Amino acid sequence: MSVPPVYRRWVTCPEPRPQASLRLFCFHFAGGDASIFRLWTTQLPPSIEVCPIELPGRATRRAEPALTHFPTLIDTLARRILPFLGQLPFAFFGHSFGGNLAFELTRWLRRQGAPLPVRLFLSATPAIQSRAQPYARVSHLADAAFLEQISTRFGIPLDVISREEVRDMVLPAMRADVLVAESYHYTPEPPLDVPLSSFGATQDPEVGPREVEVWRHQTTADFRSRFFPGDHFFLTPQRPRLQQAVLEDLASTQFP
């Protein structure tokens, strides 16, 4: 598919598969980048073309200014992804705050009468609609205190993210994404007519079992939930089992 280069900065495709019957768009967690899904592009069957989203301000787009306002990010992302949605059935997979992006992007598409995903996969995604206080505000904190709060909330060892080489690489993107999260205000809308799978971890300090299950109220279609061993970042250690769950749920989903 021919689209201007600006669109492909947002929608990457490390392993093009012209014969694929479905595109899987993947949304990374706060502070992450598209490389998190690099192995997905080769490990899923040839019938699936994996397209990780790369937000500005990180990795290959490090020199670009990051977007820090949720409505602006959703609107910009939606317009960048639209040219990729017309030819093949597609699904969205988002981990942590990437799941919130995938969910709100799906609602944006519905409001515009645009094509919708055949299935929505939300992994370790906080159900903001069920929280009295969506996100504790930490973006104003100095670096040391900010990283300490991130460590506590998500179970990341503080000595790991405080290392100079790690801190310098992830801190700017993490701060930008936290600002995005803090500017996210959930607005009630009717449930989606899109099948939804919600994945959680047994030892996640940020997203508990109730928040995994409460996503069933956001769809009138098929809902499935699963729990995997591990903490908030089970995405990597549980990748084979997670991919198998995605394949099973896609197999149960009716699409052209």
- Residues with a catalytic annotation lie at 96
- Cβ-Cβ contacts under 8 Å for 98 (sequence gap 6 or more): 26, 27, 28, 29, 30, 32, 53, 125
In the chain, the amino acid numbered 31 is G
Name 28's Cβ contacts closer than 8 Å, sequence gap at least 6. Answer: 34, 36, 37, 52, 53, 55, 95, 98
Containing 5, the helix (H) or strand (E) segment is helix 5-10
Helix H or strand E segment including 98: helix 97-112
174, burial (CB in 10 Å: exposed 0-12, middle 13-18, buried 19+): buried
Where in the chain does DSSP place strands (E)? 22-27, 48-52, 90-95, 120-123, 196-201, 223-228
38 to each of 9, 230, 236, how far by Cα in Å?
Answer: 15, 21, 11
**Relative orientation angle of helices 164-182 and 97-112, to the nearest 10 degrees:** 40
Do 137 and 145 touch, CB atoms closer than 8 A? no
Beta bridge partners of 23: 49, 90
* Residues 161, 153: Cα–Cα separation, whole Å: 13
